Chain A
């Protein structure tokens, strides 16, 4: 039985608590990195992370890319959508196919 975590700045994520997800508000990148490591080591299968925090600790996030668990999924925060999540998907297509054939450069 695994759990779902939401990681990011407090304003962006506090609403998820009421849906039954575990929220972990962090104030800065350092704290975020530490929390992410702890969450990945315990039984969290899915970790939603705000795009802004992911951008700050991207190298740490990449370490879990090729592992089966946890799935680290970027979501937009309260300060708007940076498009990073979509760019990641686009990059996946480029990695697999060799060039982007889904997004057509939009």
Chain B
């Protein structure tokens, strides 16, 4: 790490940093687990999303083709009149599911009437049979469309959450934890160094005191002569 943060080399700071490191390591582990589990669920969901979307797009394309055919044989006014007052109505009961702290919607849909023939909102006298076919083909897609809405929204929310979690994991792993470790090492070395210098100073002082009390040097000189 090129940029070393200035820290006070004190014991208090050291204790604080050690606590911080422990929290960071634990947080890193938890977030990593969260990311892995989210990823696993996301991949399952996104595969389903892809399959559903393929089905829905195919179904709608087919329905659109049928509608074009139906319109070719009918006047615009007749079509408008036929669709003017829909008999069926779909409503959603929205719930919430919690997937690893991501709140994803769960939809349950209800139709107003139970009769599935209520999707034909017109009398059959003035419409072509192609229109019936078109409406039928569209209605077969509806269930997949509703499931698609649920799955795709969940995928969107989870993708955003995974991205956030991944950033946090990386920040902890590559910045926060190494920085803290380095600071701890720095303080420990500084403290050791201080301790050694204190010890040397004490030894030196002791020497000097002894010298003053007993005058070893003078005695030694006297002895030699």
B152 touches A18 (CB 8 A): no
Q: B145 contacts A15, CB within 8 Å?
A: no
Contact B56 A46 (CB under 8 A): no
B177 at the interface (CB under 8 A from A): no
Contact assessment for A65 and B160 in the assembled complex, using a CB-CB cutoff below 8 Å: yes
C-alpha gap A76/B75 in the complex (Å): 24
45-72 of chain A: CB within 8 A of chain B: 45-46, 48, 65-66, 68-69, 71
Q: Which of B42, B56, B64, B67 interacts with A96 by CB under 8 Å? A: B42
By secondary structure, the B interface counts as helix
Is the beta-carbon distance between B134 and A75 smaller than 8 angstroms?
no
- Interface positions, chain B 133-157, Cβ under 8 Å from A, are 134-135, 138-139, 142, 145-146, 148-150, 152-153, 155-157
Instruction: Out of A4, A12, A20, A96, name the residue touching B86 (CB < 8 Å).
Output: A20
B102-126 contacts to A (CB < 8 Å): 103-105, 107, 109, 111-112, 119-121
Complex formed: what's the CA distance from A32 to B104 in Å?
26
Q: Please tell me if the beta carbons of A92 and B94 are within 8 angstroms of each other in the complex.
A: no
Determine whether A21 belongs to the interface, using a CB cutoff of 8 Å to chain B.
yes
Indicate whether A21 sits within 8 Å of B155 (C-beta atoms), given known contacts A46-B149, A69-B105, A73-B148.
Answer: no
A46 to chain B, nearest CB (A): 4
Contact partner, A95, options B105, B119, B163, Cβ 8 Å: B163
In whole angstroms, how far apart are the Cα atoms of A16 and B91 in the complex? 14
Instruction: Report yes or no: A96 in contact with B163, Cβ–Cβ below 8 A.
Output: yes
Which A residues lie within 8 Å of B107 (CB)?
45-46
B146 near A46 with CB under 8 A, answer yes
Residues of A within 8 A of B159 (CB): 92-93, 95-96
Size range of the chain B interface in the assembly? 35 or more
CB of B156 within 8 A of CB of A66, answer yes
**Given A2-B92, A12-B64, A68 and B105 contact (CB-CB distance below 8 Å):** yes
CB pair B57 A68 closer than 8 Å:
no
Q: Which residues of chain A (62-106) have a CB below 8 Å from chain B?
A: 65-66, 68-69, 71, 73, 75-78, 80-81, 85-86, 89, 92-93, 95-98, 101-103
Residue pair A71, B92 in contact (C-beta under 8 Å): no
| Chain A residues in 8 Å Cβ range of B56 | 75
**Given contact pairs A14-B83, A20-B88, A20-B111, A71 touches B152 in the complex (Cβ within 8 A):** yes
Chain B nearest CB, measured from A44 CB (Å): 9
Q: What are the residues of chain A within 8 A of B1 when measuring CB–CB?
A: none
A-B contact pairs, 25 of them (CB 8 A): A2-B91, A2-B92, A3-B90, A4-B91, A14-B79, A14-B83, A15-B83, A17-B83, A18-B135, A20-B89, A45-B105, A45-B107, A65-B156, A66-B157, A73-B149, A76-B64, A81-B61, A85-B53, A85-B57, A86-B50, A89-B155, A92-B159, A95-B163, A97-B43, A97-B162
Q: Which residues of B contact A (CB under 8 A)?
A: 39, 42-43, 46-47, 49-50, 53-54, 56-57, 60-61, 63-64, 67-68, 79, 82-83, 86, 88-94, 96, 103-105, 107, 109, 111-112, 119-121, 134-135, 138-139, 142, 145-146, 148-150, 152-153, 155-160, 162-163, 166
